[in-house]
Structure 1
Amino acid sequence: MGHWVTTWTAMPQLTEPDNLPPAPYTQEDLVLADSTVRQTLRVSVGGQRFRLRLSNAFGGAPLPVTRATVALPSGGKAGVSAIRPETVRPVTFFGRPSAVVPVGAQVVSDPLDLAPAAGTVLTVTLYLADGQASTGITSHPGSRTTSYLARGNQADAADLTGATPVEHWYFLSGLEVWAEADTATLALVGDSLTDGRGSTTDQNNRWPDQLFDRLQADRRTAGVALANQAAGGNRVLNDGLGPNVLARLDRDVLAQSGVKWLILFEGVNDLGTAEATQEAQKRVADDLIAAYDQIIVRAHAQDILVYGATITPFGGSFYDDAQGCREAARQTVNDWIRTSGAFDAVIDFDRALRDPADPRRMLPAFDVGDHLHLNPTGYKALADAVPARLLH
């Protein structure tokens, strides 16, 4: 017996003006008219066939997809515009070559009889003849992966003519594979530290990517798929870049196929954007703890195990304050994560990163330079800190 398993995700967000497709792909209230969007993604576990999810969650108008194709990229690499022509497959929706995604909705494609192996990079190409009649569009700005825009219908082209590179994903929200019954998904809810700020564009070296590589090397965890539902600037309690975690939990975790585990690694932006006073920081720490408990309760109702990750050091960053109010709140929240027993297990990312000589700060070798975000070496430290036994 098999089942559908989510093997790749990009958290849908409302596209900010600076992240809209550049001119001429955005003209007044019309986006991507007579335009092709070619994007690459890396699946985690493979399966016998797969299907795509396209999202219009934040669209200001219906999203008309005229044609969609999938293919293998030239050289098997992420972030390239060329494909292997012999691998092109048309994507259909209820047997139709096109689809209109209503405002606020998503569409799931028909299954494609293509069996991507674990770690395969796929190219997804969308052509929008009429474009979307709104600058309110759905994307994932922090793709850390190069996509390409081109004029005209080039959905089947071996390479794009006159392409414009952009480092965003548009409209793609998920990919599912039909996999063996013992295959399951680990959902990751986080902010820029999980979205991969500081990682290398087109190299897939965010900590979830490096965790996947590690899990694939062990037959006991080779059936673990990853769904990275993180976004830079995201918060648990209030909307920031993307909806808050309490609002998006159903969409991004509970409604995903095959989720068995959840790692919750978020809260630093809640602390960092609250006023740096003892009263304000006590309030946000208390509210974060209550929110974590709500997330656990809601996930447990769906038989999902929830692992809590401690908030990592940010001493010396733009979130640091001279009075140490935010650091005190971080310690309060981390103490609760470690000792409350509310989580099914604790993943101590704080301990994995902190400098023993100055525990308020991360080790310099992990620091991308702003004392908050990580370089690929730091992301490897996070990946290595996840006990594989939690995913057996």
Structure 2
Amino acid sequence: MRRQPPAGAPTAPPRAFGAEPSSTPTERWVHTWASMPQLTEPANMPPAPFTRDGAVLADATLRQTVRVSVGGDRLRLRFSNAFGGAPLPLTAVTVAHPRGGRAGAGEIEPGTARAATFHGKTSAVVQPGAQVVSDPLPFPVGDSANLTVTVHLAQGQASTDITSHPGSRTTSHLLAGNHVAADALPGATPVDHWYFLSGVEVPSGPGTAAAVLLGDSLTDGRGSTTNGNDRWPDLLLARLRAHPATAGVALVNQAAGGNRVLRDGLGPNALARLDRDVLAHSGVAWLFVFEGVNDLGCAQATEAAQKQVADELVDGYDQIVVRAHAQGIRVYGATLLPFGGNDYDDPAGCREAARRSVNDWIRTSDRFDAVVDFDRAVRDPARPARLRASCDSGDHLHLNPTGYRALADAVPPELFATG
């Protein structure tokens, strides 16, 4: 296979924080963590009293933990107001190391909190539909380390249309008042969602490049352990860290539960969000596409309807490849998993026939730069239309940590070699 040169170049010498522009023409950055922004559903809004009178998080502190993939001596934060119905006023933002390095920790290591700035200011207003990138912040963070970001919103967001990533599989904490520098948040309300924070970047050095994972709940990690970081991308990251040729690869998880390739579901469809969630990201060298089961499951269970959606999926995958290749990005495809016994299953087997048809195309079309057979990795050999019992979360569609380990183990690390 031809090899995509890694993104990145030696970084410029460190500069005084907040005193100069956030980047220079010779400096490159790479996303080390991201979440797919989407409109927050009512059930996933901050609970009372943090949502009331048409406003969200008024005079409240929001503490969130994320896990970076590659580390660096500086970082930048991205906050999204992509779906906000009003400006998003960020009054104060800090970055810190979580207590004990734990995911979902409501406490930080004493003395580690550092204030972020935006063009030298300690606050920023993100307009509806926009995002904001912080100034570079001197803050060393290690590979695969957890990072705590705390935000205070003095006025809150004056709308109940807000941007979030509900499927965080990581606990965040809410507390009234301004506590951005507090070591602990006693009495805080835990919520398993991320709000507003959409990306973390580090300077890109030699051998550093990003792989974006485009997917649905199976990549977002439904069935994994909250605060356990055992989604299949997390487990794959550990494998990549173990090999010198792939140790500099950043994995960027751009998946969301309920997402579809062709039509909007939970969040914009993959074809619509490709520019925002893949092509606009920093330092992307590879795109891994593992999505389509919701397209089949949401279409009528008739032979004609399933043939149509299968044909459209093939066309959609082709468009993703074309658009990514135009940016010099290699594209890998993964086969769709079985769902026998789930609500997506139908007595006549129309959806299963469509799944097999799509998988046959993924395997044999030579359209992708490489194919990873996730279907083969977790299907029951005796009943190939079903998941292996040891991998099944219980709903016959999503995987448990054992199943996610099987997916991670099925990905050849050499697909992401940077040298």
TM-score, structure 1 as length reference: 0.99
CA contact under 8 A between 2:204 and 2:283: conserved in structure 1? no
* Equivalent-residue separation in structure 1 for 2:56 and 2:113 (angstroms): 26
The match for 1:46 is: 71
Structure 1 stretches of 4+ moved >2 Å: none
Within 2, Cα distance between the matches of 1:351 and 1:222? 27
Q: Distance in 2 between matches of 1:84 and 1:379?
A: 31
**Offset at residue 161 of structure 1 (A):** 3.1
Tell me, yes or no, if the aligned pair for 1:80 and 1:146 is still in contact at 8 Å: yes
Report what 2:195 is aligned to: 170
Contact 1:215 1:222 in 2 (8 A): yes
Give 1:1-392 correspondences, 5 Å limit: 1-2=10-11, 3-392=28-417
Letter in 1 for 2:191: V
Unpaired runs of at least 5, structure 2 = 1-9, 12-27
**What do residues 130-171 of structure 1 show as CA deviations (whole Å, max 9, x unaligned)?**
000000000000000000000000001010132000000000
Contact 1:46–1:179 under 8 Å retained in 2: no
Deviations 1:68-96 (Å, cap 9, x if unpaired)? Answer: 00000111101111111211100100000
Shift, 1:386, TM fit? 0.6
Residue 115 of structure 1: CA displacement? 1.9
Q: Is the 8 A contact 2:69 2:144 kept in 1?
A: yes
In 1, distance between residues paired with 2:272 and 2:137? 32
**Helix, strand or coil: the match of 1:297?**
helix
Whichever residue aligns with residue 124 of structure 1, its letter is V
Q: Matched residue pairs, number?
A: 392
How much has 1:28 moved relative to structure 2? Answer: 2.6
Contact 1:151–1:162 (Cα < 8 Å) also in 2? no
Superposed CA deviations along residues 194-221 of structure 1, whole A, max 9, x for unmatched, are 0000000001000000000111011111
Distance 2:148 2:413 in 1: 30
1:305 & 1:92 partners in 2: Cα distance? Answer: 35
CA contact (8 A) 1:34 1:131 kept: yes
Per mean C-alpha deviation after superposition, the further-off stretch among 374-383 and 156-165 is 156-165
**1:181 shift after superposition:** 2.5
- Unaligned runs of 5+ residues in structure 1 are none
Write the letter of the residue equivalent to 1:88: A
Describe the superposition over 1:9-38 as per-residue Cα deviations: whole angstroms up to 9, x where unpaired.
110010001110001000031100000000
| 8 Å CA contact 2:152, 2:178 repeated in 1 | yes
- State the Cα RMSD in Å: 0.6
State the identity %: 68
Per-residue Cα deviation, 1:94-134 (whole angstroms, up to 9, x for no partner): 00000000000000000111121101111000000000000
